[in-house]
Amino acid sequence: MRAELEGELRALASRGVTPGLAAVLVGDNPASATYVRMKGKACEETGLHHETVRLAKETTQAELLALVDRLNADPKIHGILVQLPLPKQIDSQKVLRRVAPAKDVDGFHPENVGKVSIGDPTGFRPATPFGVQQLLVRSGIDTTGKHAVIVGRSNIVGRPMAALLLQDGPGGNATVTVCHSRTREIKAVTRLADILIVAMGKPEFVTGDMIKPGAVVIDVGTNRVDDPATKKGYRLVGDVKFDEAKQVAGAITPVPGGVGPMTITMLLFNTVQAARQWAKS
């Protein structure tokens, strides 16, 4: 998919435009630092301009908002990514809403949330659900008429995932059920899924007996669990118990791998889309 961007990047370059992504990292969260580094590497490999702004964890909300304003006004930057979570003294919603909708390549601004929910193609689809949708499309899994069950209702994955699967078009036209912490008899619901998408942040929550035989299982979770047998003292697992699930599922994504690389790739697609829309404006 990254190779597909080459033609579009050449077309933009002929007009003097190089898509630019700015990543803002506040504090020293190691997982966030890893994500930002991987995104920067992907930009370099693909030919996008990339800037990482690192701020101390003591940074005030006013200082962060001032930085966002500066990036909003910078013509070299077409996409702005504020890495979550932010320190406690900062209101994340206030910061995310300060990002100009035209540069909100994470798709978190209410304007983009609204556009995605009604199927407006100028809206930015959040990178993780967008990546899951493309993963299904590119793997030849037809979603039309299928029952898709999403476990988790976050604004980052669950809700926008439901909106994308409901839309009329490739990777859409599914019948969608969203489960959450108040869902009763969740096992009975997940076993109805032709496509089961799990994004709840609970290590290995979904077990083999919660999956309909032959179902497609997409594991969005990335969790650290203690494992003294490893050099780092921990290992990464998803929200699905992989060894059990793979015995039942028709197709399944691994953790690590699977959805993670797709998320980064879709962020590149959104940044190129932002540059294209800026060049037309």
Catalytic residues: 39, 83, 106
- Cβ burial 13-45 (10 Å sphere, 16+ → b, else e): eeeebebbbbbbbbbebeebeebbeebbebbee
Task: Look up residue 75 and give its two tokens.
Answer: 């013509």
Phi/psi of residue 164, each to 5°? -70, -40
Looking at residue 276, its amino acid is R
Interatomic CA distance for residues 160 and 14, integer angstroms: 34
- Spacing of C-alpha 12 from chain mean position: 25
Handedness of CA 110, 151, 256, 233 (dihedral sign): positive
